[in-house]
C-alpha cells in the first residue's frame, strides 16, 4: 500500500513539475516587424543580439515607406509591430483602431539633410542656397506615402522652392531609393535623413534642415492589434525604448 501511494505521489509530482516547466518556457514567436526603410541598417544590426537574448523569438523585417506599410496592414497584411517614420501614419493607424491601446511610444527621432554625391563640387551649405536653375535632378521621397517626402515638401514650401523645383524632381518610393539616386549619380541633390547619409560612403551632407521648416521627425512604434504574439511584440518595443535600444539606434545616426 505504501509503495502504491509513493508511486502515485511521484507520478502526480512529475506531472506538476512538467507543467511548471512548460509554463516557464519563453514564448516561441516569429515576429514580423513592419519598419520604415530608414531603420534598415540599425534593426538588422541588433537582430542577432536580440534573438540571442530572447530565446524562441525570431525577427523578420518588412522594410518600406511608412505610408505603404500602414496601408498593407490595413488591408490585412500580417504584422506584429509597426515602426513608423512619422506620427501621421501612426495616427491614421490609431484612428482606425489597428494598433493595441497603450502600446504606442516614440522610440527615436531624426534630422532632415540635403545630400550630394561625395565627388560633387557643390558649394551649397544651406537649403536656402538651392538654386533650381543649377539643378538638373533633385531626388525626394513621394510626399503622399513617404514621410521623408512630406518633410521635404514642407521644408521646400517654407523656402518657396517646391514649385520652382517641380520639373527637376525625381520621386523615390522610400528614403533608401532617394539615397540610391544620389549615390548612383542619377540626381544632383537629394533629401534624406541624417541616419541614411550616416551609413553611406558615397554621399556627403551639404546642409541640415531647420526643424521649424517641417513637422517634428519622430518615430513612433506600436503593437499591431491583429498580432498573434502581442506579448513578444511588446517586449521588442520595450527593447527599442531601453538604454540598449537607444544606444543601438544612435550608433546608426539616429537622435
pLDDT, position 143: 96
| 119 part of a folded domain | yes
| 1 part of a folded domain | no
On whether both 193 and 229 belong to a single domain, the answer is no
| 175 part of a folded domain | yes
Strands (E) in the chain, as ranges, are 29-36, 57-64, 81-83, 105-109, 112-117, 138-141, 169-172, 189-193, 203-208, 218-223
Strand partners, 141: 172
| 209 part of a folded domain | yes
On whether both 150 and 64 belong to a single domain, the answer is no
On whether both 238 and 151 belong to a single domain, the answer is no
| CA distances from residue 209 to 9, 158, 226 in whole angstroms, order as listed | 73, 11, 37
Domain of 103, CATH number, reads 3.40.190.10
| 43 part of a folded domain | yes
| 198 part of a folded domain | yes
On whether both 76 and 125 belong to a single domain, the answer is no
What number of residues does the chain have? Answer: 255
On whether both 43 and 79 belong to a single domain, the answer is yes
Domain extent at residue 167: 112-213
**Which three-class secondary structure state does DSSP give residue 224?**
strand
pLDDT, position 225: 97
The answer for residues whose C-beta is within 8 angstroms of residue 194's C-beta and 6 or more apart is 110, 111, 112, 113, 205, 208, 253, 255
Backbone angles phi, psi at 98, to 5 degrees: -100, -5
pLDDT in tens, the chain (255 residues): 444 434 443 444 444 444 444 433 445 789 999 999 999 999 999 998 899 889 899 999 999 999 999 999 999 999 999 999 999 999 999 999 999 999 999 999 999 999 999 999 999 999 999 999 999 999 999 999 999 999 999 999 999 999 999 999 999 999 999 999 999 999 999 999 999 999 999 999 999 999 999 999 999 999 999 999 999 999 999 999 999 999 999 999 998
pLDDT, position 231: 95
Distance of CA 80 to the CA centre of its chain: 14
The answer for residues whose C-beta is within 8 angstroms of residue 162's C-beta and 6 or more apart is 153, 156
On whether both 104 and 186 belong to a single domain, the answer is no
On whether both 47 and 120 belong to a single domain, the answer is no
What is the pTM (predicted TM-score) of this model? Answer: 0.83
The sign of the dihedral angle between the CA atoms of 185, 190, 192, 195 is positive
| 6 part of a folded domain | no
| 5 part of a folded domain | no
Count up the domains in the chain and report the number. 2
Strand partners, 210: none
On whether both 104 and 222 belong to a single domain, the answer is yes
pLDDT, position 255: 85
**Which three-class secondary structure state does DSSP give residue 247?**
helix
pLDDT, position 204: 97
pLDDT, position 4: 42
Amino acid at each position: 500500500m505504501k509503495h502504491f501511494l509513493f508511486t502515485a505521489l511521484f507520478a502526480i509530482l512529475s506531472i506538476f513539475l512538467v507543467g511548471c516547466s512548460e509554463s516557464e518556457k519563453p514564448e516561441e514567436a516569429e515576429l514580423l516587424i513592419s519598419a520604415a526603410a530608414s531603420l534598415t541598417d540599425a534593426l538588422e544590426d541588433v537582430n542577432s543580439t536580440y534573438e540571442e537574448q530572447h530565446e524562441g523569438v525570431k525577427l523578420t523585417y518588412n522594410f518600406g515607406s511608412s505610408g505603404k506599410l500602414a496601408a498593407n496592414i490595413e488591408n490585412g497584411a500580417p504584422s506584429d509591430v509597426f515602426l513608423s517614420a512619422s506620427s501621421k501614419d501612426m495616427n491614421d493607424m490609431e484612428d482606425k483602431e489597428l494598433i493595441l491601446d497603450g502600446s504606442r511610444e516614440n522610440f527615436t527621432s531624426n534630422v532632415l539633410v540635403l545630400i550630394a554625391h561625395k565627388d560633387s563640387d557643390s558649394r551649397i551649405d544651406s537649403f536656402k542656397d538651392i538654386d533650381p536653375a543649377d539643378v538638373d535632378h533633385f531626388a525626394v521621397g513621394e510626399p503622399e506615402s513617404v514621410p521623408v517626402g512630406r518633410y521635404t515638401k514642407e521644408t521646400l514650401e517654407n523656402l518657396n522652392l517646391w514649385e520652382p523645383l517641380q520639373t527637376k524632381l525625381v520621386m523615390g518610393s522610400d528614403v533608401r531609393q532617394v539615397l540610391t539616386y544620389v549615390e548612383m549619380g542619377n540626381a544632383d541633390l537629394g533629401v534624406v535623413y541624417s541616419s541614411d547619409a550616416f551609413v553611406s560612403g558615397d554621399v556627403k551632407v551639404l546642409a541640415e534642415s531647420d526643424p521649424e521648416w517641417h513637422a517634428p521627425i519622430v518615430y513612433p512604434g506600436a503593437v499591431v492589434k491583429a498580432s498573434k504574439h502581442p506579448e513578444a511584440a511588446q517586449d521588442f518595443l520595450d527593447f527599442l525604448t531601453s538604454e540598449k535600444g537607444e544606444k543601438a539606434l544612435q550608433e546608426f545616426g539616429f537622435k
